[in-house]
């Protein structure tokens, strides 16, 4: 079998805080094929963004520390290469767009300069040629009057426009992987849909693989081929999108899916309620030896509190970390 485009194995990241060392990522594994979209879903603080930053090797050190694991891009372990080599990878092979389009662009440089900078850096193009590429990219992300807007500054654009600029910048060097960290959370719902349509369209054109991070199961359902559910720094369930939606196994995943409002259903006669999962994510410094979801889980049994479950194969390409499905060990 061919090695996947991007393969992460057993990734561990720790942060030292005043309250002690927090293991923010524990045993993260993922793999990504060209052209595929992988969704990572979970509540805020579960480690989604940290996974992305670790792949880019942008975890702030200190206080952070990548403890163990490997991140292989086309077989090259990015956690082992020099910082210089890593800089070549960033923006060229793996790009990233962020949650806050309003603040993610440098306010004192024109957007053209900022896109062109990436191109100059990675492809060694001249000033003129890189600016031409910037215009081209702005057209590709459907920004009207690209020739004029290329000279504009971030403050002159709306949030949706700025996120398009971020996408243009990220894709300017045709990366094989694009990491989109909550790319639409800060945007209006209508603009959200436009940005996702744009991402899909560009993916079809360029064959870029996308890692889409979101707290919104609805967004993931629409965009992703495969889904990874994270909770408190671990992967609790992983499967194809259809499979997850049809038969979620982990109680947490079931909870997340129940939280998505179903607009297509007949509205019930009684007051419509939005479901929510009771409780909060535990502090990562206070994790015990048991399953971290146990305090909020309706099915939690004694052994859930004693020992954390390992991922189990429960279907084709479907893994879940929950004692409920451990038939061998069931009492």
Partner 1 sequence: MLLAVVVFNFILLSLVPGDIADTLAGESGGASEEVMADIRRTYGLDRPFHIQLATYVGKVVQGDLGMSYYFNMPVTELILGRIAPTLLLVVTALVLAILIGTLFGVIASRKPNGLFSHFVTVLALVGFAAPVFWTAFLLIVLFVAMLEIMPISGLVDPTTPRGTLTWYLDVLHHLFLPVLSLSSIYLAAYSRLARASMMDVLGSDFIRTARAKGLGETSITYKHALRNAIIPVITIAGLQFSHIFSGAVVVETVFTWPGLGTLAFESILRGDTPTIMGILFFSAMIVIAVNLLTDLAYRLVDPRIRSARNA
Partner 2 sequence: MRDLHTTGPETVRVERPVFEFLRMYVRNWAAVAGFLVFSTIVFAALFAPLILAVDPFEMVWMPFTPPGQDGYILGTDNLGRDMLTAILYGARATLVVGASAAALTIVIGLTIGSLAGYYRGWVDEVLMRITEFFQVLPPLLLAMVLVSLFSPTLTTVAIAIGVVTWTGVARLARAEFMRIRELEFVKAARSIGSRDRRIIWRVILPNALPPLIVNAALTVGIAILFEAALSFLGLSDPNVMSWGKLIGDNRDYLLDAPWTVTIPGVAIFLTVLAVSLIGDGLNDAFNPRLRER
Smallest distance from the beta carbon of 273 to partner 1, in angstroms?
Answer: 36
Look up residue 287 and give its two tokens.
């994790």
Rounded CA separation 100/108 (Å):
17
Taking CB under 8 A as the criterion, the residue among 35, 45, 67, 159 binding partner 2 is 45
CA-wise closest residue to 172 among 224, 225, 111, 85: 111
Q: Where do the DSSP E strands lie in 18-117? A: 20-32, 37-41, 64-73, 76-77, 94-97
Give the x-and-dash track for 30-69 against partner 1 (CB under 8 A): --------------------------x-x-----------
Q: Binding of partner 2 at residue 78 (CB under 8 A)? A: no
If the CB atoms of residues 7 and 117 are measured against partner 1, the closer one turns out to be 117
- Comparing CB distances to partner 2, the nearer of 46 and 143 is 46
In which order are the strands placed within the sheet that holds 6-17?
20-32, 6-17, 64-73, 76-77
Of 172, 171, 199, the closest CA to residue 183 belongs to 199
Tokens encoding 190: 């209508």
- Count of residues in contact with partner 2, rule CB under 8 A: 15
Alpha helices in 211-283 (DSSP H): 217-223, 241-246, 251-259
Query: Could you tell me what percentage of the chain is helix, strand and coil, using 3-state DSSP and rounding each to the nearest 5?
Result: 35, 25, 40
Does position 15 bind partner 2 by CB under 8 A?
yes
Among partner 2, partner 1, none, partner that 19 touches (CB below 5 to 8 angstroms by kind): partner 2
Minimum distance, C-beta of residue 155 to partner 1, in the bound complex (Å) = 5
Binders of partner 2 among residues 263 to 302 (CB under 8 A) are: 280-281, 283-286
Instruction: List binders of partner 1 among 97-126 (CB under 8 A).
Output: 98, 100, 103-110, 117-118, 121-122
Partner in contact with 226, chosen from partner 2, partner 1, none, beta carbon below 5 to 8 Å by kind: none
Among 5, 8, 24, 221, binds partner 2 (CB under 8 A): 24
Q: Does 103 bind partner 2 (CB under 8 A)?
A: no
CB of 76 to partner 1, least distance (A): 15
Residue 96 interface partner, choices partner 2, partner 1, none, CB cut-off 5-8 Å depending on type: partner 1
- Name the phi and psi angles at 240, rounded to 5: -70, 155
Cβ 98 to partner 2, closest distance in Å? 14
Task: Give dist(CA 125, CA 123) in Å, integer.
Answer: 5
The helix or strand, by DSSP H or E, that contains position 238, with its residue range, turns out to be: strand 234-240
CB atoms inside a 10 Å sphere around CB 179: 26
Note whether 294 and 306 are within 8 A (CB): no
Whole-number Cα distances in Å, 97 to 84, 117, 158, 244, 277: 21, 16, 16, 26, 29
Stretch that binds partner 1, among 17-25, 73-81, 83-91, 307-315 (CB under 8 A): 83-91
Q: Which helix (H) or strand (E) holds 209?
A: strand 209-214
Q: What is the CA radius of gyration of the chain?
A: 21
Taking the least distance from each CB to partner 2, the nearer of 18 and 84 is: 18
Using the rule CB under 8 A, which residue among 24, 169, 227, 235 binds partner 1?
A: 169
Residues that bind partner 1 (CB under 8 A): 56, 58, 87-92, 95-96, 98, 100, 103-110, 117-118, 121-122, 153, 155-156, 166, 169
Residues that bind partner 2 (CB under 8 A): 15, 17-19, 22, 24, 44-45, 50, 280-281, 283-286
């Amino acid at each position: 079998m061919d090695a996947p485009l991007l393969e992460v194995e057993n990734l561990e990241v720790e942060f030292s805080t005043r309250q002690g060392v927090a293991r923010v990522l524990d045993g993260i594994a993922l793999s990504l094929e060209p052209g595929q979209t992988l969704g990572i879903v979970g509540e805020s603080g579960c480690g989604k963004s940290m996974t992305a930053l670790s792949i880019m090797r942008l975890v702030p050190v200190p206080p952070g520390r990548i403890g163990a694991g490997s991140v292989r891009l086309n077989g090259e372990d990015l956690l082992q290469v020099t910082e210089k080599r890593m800089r070549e990878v960033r923006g060229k092979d793996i790009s990233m767009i962020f949650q806050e389009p309003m603040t993610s662009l440098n306010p004192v440089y024109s957007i053209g300069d900022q896109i062109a900078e990436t191109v100059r850096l990675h492809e060694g193009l001249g000033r003129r040629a890189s600016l031409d590429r910037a215009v081209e990219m702005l057209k590709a992300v459907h920004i009207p009057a690209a020739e004029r807007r290329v000279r504009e500054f971030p403050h002159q654009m709306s949030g949706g426009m700025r996120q398009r600029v971020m996408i243009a910048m990220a894709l300017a060097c045709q990366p094989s992987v694009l990491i989109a960290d909550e790319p639409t959370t800060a945007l209006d719902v209508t603009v959200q849909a436009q940005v996702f349509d744009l991402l899909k369209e560009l993916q079809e054109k360029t064959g870029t693989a996308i890692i889409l991070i979101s707290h919104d199961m609805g967004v993931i359902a629409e965009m992703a081929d495969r889904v990874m559910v994270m909770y408190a720094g671990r992967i609790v369930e992983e499967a194809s999108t259809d499979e997850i939606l049809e038969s979620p196994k982990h109680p947490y995943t079931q909870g997340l899916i129940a939280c998505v409002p179903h607009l297509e259903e007949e509205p019930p006669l009684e007051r419509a309620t939005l479901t929510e999962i009771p409780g909060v994510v535990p502090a990562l410094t206070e994790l015990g030896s048991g399953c971290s979801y146990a305090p909020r889980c309706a099915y939690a049994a004694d052994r859930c509190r004693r020992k954390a479950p390992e991922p189990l194969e429960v279907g084709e390409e479907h893994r879940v970390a929950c004692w409920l499905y451990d038939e061998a060990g069931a009492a």
